[in-house]
Amino acid sequence: MKKIFTFLFTLTLFACILNQEENKKNGFSPDGGKFEIGSQSTIDIVLKFNDAYLIGDKETMKSILSDTIIVNYPNGEMIKGLNALVDEIGEDFSIQDSSLQFIGVNPFKPKSIFSVALENDTKGEWVIAQYEFNGALIWNDELQTYDGQEGTQHIRDSYYVIDNKITRWNSSERVEKY
């Protein structure tokens, strides 16, 4: 009788543990699996990349980005490959560009950031970051607009991290002008 009780107790405990793990998963992904919270290490990689990006530190960016990275910008532009991306970033944000050297509070620190892992994906994790910038919006690109108008720029980026390297970066934005 004691063995039966021990067996049933162990079985019940094991079932509760399994059910608790399943409750940490939710939603659905394209492959039919669910999402669960990812790791802090992937968030740290994205934060390190963001800091390097904002000061034009190409060497640190290269150490964090995959050679085969694919980037999708909000304007529809797609960049493929590490060197193409670093060259593109270098054109916009070179280390010699003093406008990139933020003094005091960095306006592009994430407002929120989290990591998710897909149940059926054993390769990597997605990091989702939201940035918000308030102030003079400068974009222009041959007068397509903004040009110093006051407003708020909401940026949402998703990064796919495999083996401590960012392999995919998708960006979207929404602008509110005052």
Residue 4 has pLDDT above 60, yes or no: yes
Query: Which pLDDT tens digit goes with each residue over 109-159?
Result: 678 899 998 887 788 999 999 987 766 655 544 444 555 566 677 789 999
- pLDDT for the residue 96: 44
Residue 22 lies inside a defined structural domain of this protein? no
How large is the average pLDDT for residues 18-43? 75
CATH number at residue 41: 3.10.450.50
- The residue type of 55 is I
Residue 156 lies inside a defined structural domain of this protein? yes
Residue 27 lies inside a defined structural domain of this protein? no
- The residue type of 125 is E
C-alpha dist (Å) from residue 163 to 40, 42, 65, 123? 14, 9, 10, 8
Residue 157 lies inside a defined structural domain of this protein? yes
Residue 56 lies inside a defined structural domain of this protein? yes
- pLDDT for the residue 95: 43
Query: Which pLDDT tens digit goes with each residue over 48-93?
Result: 998 888 777 888 989 999 999 999 988 889 999 998 988 887 665 5
- pLDDT for the residue 66: 96
- pLDDT for the residue 56: 75
- pLDDT for the residue 79: 94
Q: How far apart are CA 69 and CA 124, in angstroms?
A: 14
Q: Are 129 and 110 in contact (CB under 8 A)?
A: yes
Residue 18 lies inside a defined structural domain of this protein? no
Residue 24 lies inside a defined structural domain of this protein? no
Task: Domain count for the chain, please give it.
Answer: 1
Residue 164 has pLDDT above 80, yes or no: yes
- The stretches of 24-126 forming alpha helices (DSSP H) are 40-55, 58-64, 82-92
Residue 4 lies inside a defined structural domain of this protein? no
Domain coverage including residue 148: 34-177
Q: How far apart are CA 139 and CA 88, in angstroms?
A: 16
Most confident of 1-5, 41-45, 130-134, 138-142: 41-45
Residue 11 has pLDDT above 60, yes or no: no
